């Protein structure tokens, strides 16, 4: 399929994240991959990049790259432009990695996936780097094997995305409905919501509340949601970007066992008797069955390596292998839809101040998001 055994990448957007991807490729941190070109509409960003990375071709319009000799592009620009640019590269028959989130609105993601279907020979992935965390992969395997029995409850605490005002002030598109399309939920928690949907699927309804605590931003930095699954299981989610010393902790409980997943370790508790049997067989007292605990770790060396954008390198490495040898993608772009449905659903429930059901009412969501963008424009004009 490829003339050379090395994949030639171009990076679209060399801001904070695009520069990391470009730098990793430039430094040959991904086998059989090289950086062929970068593109940014900001002359300043291109200049800054070129000074530190001599020899890389620089472009100021992605359109100029459509007919270039490249095999794949990584799109690392603000959210609303992800799919506009991706559509152009699909039509130019280039393989694509799209930064998360796939886009802002579920309906646009759905349309994009329909278009993607027409190009089955192209690989299109999403940068869901947290999927490379071996604990989440193990958790998926354990749940699938039935180790927890029927899932009844899950709690996700995501408070490890601390962002001060300076972070938002640094970049005008951040934490705005017009530029980013949402706040902490869409930008940061999309990673964990992807993990949640890959472990437990999509809920049938959502009741939520979002708010902004101690920041001069229009979008949220605090989220509370209750989600209900088809079998009646409940997931409660709390996320914030204003708590110091935050954590990321997911607990999933079923009638046969419980998983507690932290940042670098996970414990599986399994019971000798299912809760259903325990309840029936306990004729007096409080009831208890034997419990076993099994511990899993991220692995200290891997954790250190991954902490400096190592997970992102793993996604590009997997993508390269998928192009060269047909390896399965860790995160196909189609899977970008699932977390987006929950995220849009949490916003909608909060804006409507009521429980909403999924599948999402795309028209209502679009209308309400448009309202938020208009409010924001009025607010900016009044300042
Ligand atoms: N996977 C991760 O861990 C991770 C971490 C941070 C950011 N991101 C994602 O990466 C993307 C970029 O975020 P960032 O923090 O680097 O933002 P950024 O603002 O630092 O960089 C974006 C760059 O894109 C450029 N740009 C804008 N429109 C463009 C266009 N049409 N063509 C070419 N360049 C264009 C801007 O000039 C800017 O240099 C976002 O989707 C964000 O959510 C992912």
Encode pLDDT of 41-97 as tens digits: 999 999 999 999 999 999 999 999 999 999 999 999 999 999 999 999 999 999 999
Please give the pLDDT value at position 106. Answer: 98
Q: Determine the Cα–Cα distance for residues 291 and 36; give it in Å rounded to an integer.
A: 55
State the residue range of the domain holding 151: 132-306+338-382
Q: Which atom of ligand 1 is nearest to the CA of 19?
A: 16
The chain-wide mean pLDDT, for the chain, equals 96
Q: Determine the Cα–Cα distance for residues 106 and 8; give it in Å rounded to an integer.
A: 31
Q: Determine the Cα–Cα distance for residues 41 and 20; give it in Å rounded to an integer.
A: 17
Q: Determine the Cα–Cα distance for residues 82 and 173; give it in Å rounded to an integer.
A: 14
Residue 282 has pLDDT above 70, yes or no: yes
Taking the model in full, what pTM does it have? Answer: 0.97
Residues 215 and 83 occupy one common structural domain:
no
Q: What confidence category does residue 382 fall into, taking pLDDT thresholds of 50, 70 and 90? A: low
Number of domains in the chain: 2
Q: What confidence category does residue 313 fall into, taking pLDDT thresholds of 50, 70 and 90? A: very high
CATH, residue 326: 3.40.50.720
Average pLDDT estimate for 167-171: 92
Please give the pLDDT value at position 308. Answer: 83
6 cis-preceded (ω within 30 degrees of 0): no
Residues 63 and 116 occupy one common structural domain:
yes
Q: What confidence category does residue 380 fall into, taking pLDDT thresholds of 50, 70 and 90? A: low
Residue 297 has pLDDT above 70, yes or no: yes
CATH, residue 165: 3.30.360.10
Residues 115 and 155 occupy one common structural domain:
no
Mutate to test the pocket of ligand 1, among 37, 38, 40, 82 (most ligand atoms within 8 A of CB): 40
Mutate to test the pocket of ligand 1, among 16, 66, 84, 170 (most ligand atoms within 8 A of CB): 16
| Residue 234 domain flag | yes
| Residue 1 domain flag | no
């Amino acid at each position: 399929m490829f003339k050379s055994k090395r994949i030639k990448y171009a990076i679209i957007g060399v801001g904070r994240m695009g520069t990391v991807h470009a730098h990793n490729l430039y430094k040959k941190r991904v086998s059989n991959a090289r950086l062929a070109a970068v593109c940014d509409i900001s002359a300043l960003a291109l200049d800054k990049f070129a000074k530190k990375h001599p020899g890389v071709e620089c472009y100021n319009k992605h359109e100029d790259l459509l007919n270039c000799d490249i095999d794949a592009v990584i799109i690392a620009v603000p959210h609303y432009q992800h799919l506009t640019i991706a559509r152009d590269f699909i039509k130019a028959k280039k393989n694509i990695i799209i930064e998360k989130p796939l886009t802002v609105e579920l309906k646009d993601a759905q349309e994009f996936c329909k278009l993607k279907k027409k190009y089955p020979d192209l690989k299109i992935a999403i940068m869901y780097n947290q999927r490379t965390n071996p604990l989440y992969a193990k958790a998926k395997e354990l749940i699938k094997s039935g180790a927890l029995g029927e899932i009844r409850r899950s709690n996700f605490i995501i408070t490890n995305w601390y962002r001060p005002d300076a972070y938002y002030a640094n970049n005008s598109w951040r934490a705005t409905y017009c530029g980013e399309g949402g706040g902490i939920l869409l930008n940061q928690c999309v990673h964990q919501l992807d993990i949640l949907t890959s472990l437990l699927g999509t809920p049938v309804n959502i009741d939520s509340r979002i708010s902004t605590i101690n920041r001069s931003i229009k979008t949220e930095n605090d989220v509370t949601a209750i989600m209900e699954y088809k079998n009646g299981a409940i997931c409660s989610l709390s996320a914030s970007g204003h708590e110091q010393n935050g954590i990321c902790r997911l607990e999933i409980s079923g009638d046969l066992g419980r998983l507690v997943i932290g940042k670098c370790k996970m414990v599986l508790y399994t019971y000798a008797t299912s809760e259903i049997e325990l309840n029936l067989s306990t004729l007096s007292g409080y009831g208890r069955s034997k419990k076993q605990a099994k511990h899993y770790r991220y692995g200290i060396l891997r954790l250190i390596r991954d902490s400096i954008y190592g997970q992102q390198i793993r996604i590009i490495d997997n993508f390269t292998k998928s192009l060269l040898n047909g390896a399965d993608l860790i995160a196909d772009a189609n899977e970008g839809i699932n977390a987006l449905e929950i995220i849009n659903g949490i916003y909608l429930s909060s804006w409507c101040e009521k429980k909403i059901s999924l599948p999402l009412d795309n028209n209502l969501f679009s209308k309400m998001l448009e309202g938020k963008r208009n409010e924001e424009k009025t607010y900016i004009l009044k300042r």
